[in-house]
């Protein structure tokens, strides 16, 4: 059975990513019924040779989320050593684009940096503001950060909400009309390296938040969540989907209309990670 997965769990020194994984486009879902049969689609979906493009990642492990800049450049992805790297299609190579921590001693190398993540950073969710070209980064340890189109050292823009520091900043999406960033803190009790404990303990300290770049304010939209993970905003911004990893569900929070503020089950799946929306209002899922 083929799943959209993080290949870092299967390989240690060199990772091979197909465009179906990078773009989360091999199966896109536009209704609850379609989402419910996603496993069947994954099992029967056959990709032709023209659909596949293998991109090797050398000297790095742990690609998580993927993003493309306003010019179509990339993909960009965050890896275990704290870097965000960029794929140069014309040169067929990855280059370093940004980091979330200034402290880089001992961070490089093609091995998992789990014990160094709190120092090196661990970029997870990525998304470009298509108007400004700024890349927003949900770093598991450094919080919500942003870096300009030229890359370099990212600037932290939010590290706590309501006086409680983020413990495990994870997924994000951006409202491209307003620039507001929606993101999750999977747990303020456990760190990313202890993600299994988040699931096993039934931890309910996760939060869904939004950051407004204009006011510089961070607002908690939902709290007491069980492992909120990937985030995807609807095309017109009337609702947001986010993964409840512990309970194997996708939840929907209505942001507008008469349902504003209501949370409802959107789909029941296996353990979900990232979510992406395409231009046709369909959602792609990445499983853990």
Contact of 234 with 212, CB cutoff 8 Å = no
pLDDT band for 25, please (50, 70, 90 cuts). very low
Asked if the structure places residue 44 within a domain, the reply is yes
pLDDT band at 213 (very low <50, low <70, confident <90, very high): very high
- Using the predicted structure, report yes or no on whether residue 12 has a pLDDT greater than 60: no
User: Does some domain include residue 75?
Assistant: yes
Q: Give domain status of residue 13, yes or no.
A: yes
**Is the distance from CB of 6 to CB of 80 less than 8 angstroms?**
no
Residue-averaged pLDDT of the chain: 80
Digit-coded pLDDT (tens) for 121-174: 999 999 999 999 999 999 999 999 999 999 999 999 999 999 999 999 999 999
Please state which of the ranges 20-24, 237-241, 245-249, 281-285 shows the lowest mean pLDDT: 20-24
Domain encompassing residue 204: 7-287
C-beta pairs of 194-202 under 8 Å, 24+ apart in sequence = 195/168, 195/227, 198/168, 198/227, 198/245, 198/246, 199/227, 199/245, 199/246, 202/226, 202/246
Q: How many helices (H) and strands (E) does the chain have?
A: 5, 23
Residue 190 in domain? yes
Tell me, yes or no, whether 1 lies in a domain: no
Q: What is the CATH number of the domain that holds 248?
A: 2.120.10.30
Q: How many domains does the chain have?
A: 1
Q: How many CB atoms lie within 10 A of CB 203?
A: 21
Average pLDDT estimate for 3-31 = 34
How far apart, in whole angstroms, are the C-alpha atoms of residue 19 and residue 64?
A: 14
Which of the four pLDDT bands, split at 50, 70 and 90, describes residue 20? very low
Q: Which residues contact 23 (CB under 8 A, 6 or more apart)?
A: 66, 75, 276, 284
Q: Is 49 exposed, middle or buried (0-12, 13-18, 19+ CB in 10 A)?
A: exposed
| Structural domain includes residue 261 | yes
Residue 282 CB partners (closer than 8 Å, separation 6+): 28, 29, 30
Nearest to 251 by CA among 238, 232, 224: 232
In a domain, 74, yes or no: yes
| Residue 2 located in a structural domain | no
Unique residue bearing structure tokens 């492990």: 61
Report residue 23's pLDDT band, with 50, 70 and 90 as the boundaries. very low
């Amino acid at each position: 059975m083929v799943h959209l997965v993080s290949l870092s769990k299967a390989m240690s020194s060199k990772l091979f990513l197909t465009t179906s994984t990078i773009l989360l486009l091999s199966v896109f879902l536009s209704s609850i019924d379609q989402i419910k049969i996603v496993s069947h689609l994954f099992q029967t979906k056959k990709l032709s040779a023209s659909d596949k493009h293998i991109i090797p990642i050398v000297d790095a492990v742990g690609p998580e989320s993927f993003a493309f800049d306003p010019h179509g450049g990339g993909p960009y992805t965050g890896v275990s050593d704290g870097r965000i790297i960029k794929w140069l299609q014309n040169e067929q190579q990855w280059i370093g684009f940004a980091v979330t921590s200034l402290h880089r001693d001992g961070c490089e190398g093609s091995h998992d940096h789990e014990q160094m993540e709190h120092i090196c950073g661990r970029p997870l969710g990525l998304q470009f503001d298509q108007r400004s070209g700024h890349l927003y980064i949900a770093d598991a340890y450094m919080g919500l950060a942003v870096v300009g189109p030229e890359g370099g050292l990212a600037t932290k823009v939010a590290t706590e909400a309501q006086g409680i520091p983020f413990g495990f900043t994870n997924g994000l999406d951006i409202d491209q009309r307003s620039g507001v960033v929606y993101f999750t803190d999977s747990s303020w009790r456990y760190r990313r390296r202890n993600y299994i404990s988040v699931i096993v303990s039934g931890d309910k300290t996760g939060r869904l938040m939004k950051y407004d770049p204009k006011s510089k304010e961070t607002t908690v939209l939902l709290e007491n969540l069980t492992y909120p993970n990937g985030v995807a905003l609807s095309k017109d911004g009337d609702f947001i989907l986010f993964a409840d990893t512990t309970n194997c569900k996708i939840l929907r929070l209505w942001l507008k209309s008469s349902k504003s503020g209501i949370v409802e089950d959107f789909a029941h799946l296996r353990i979900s990670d990232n979510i992406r929306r395409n231009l046709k209002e369909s959602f792609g899922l990445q499983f853990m």
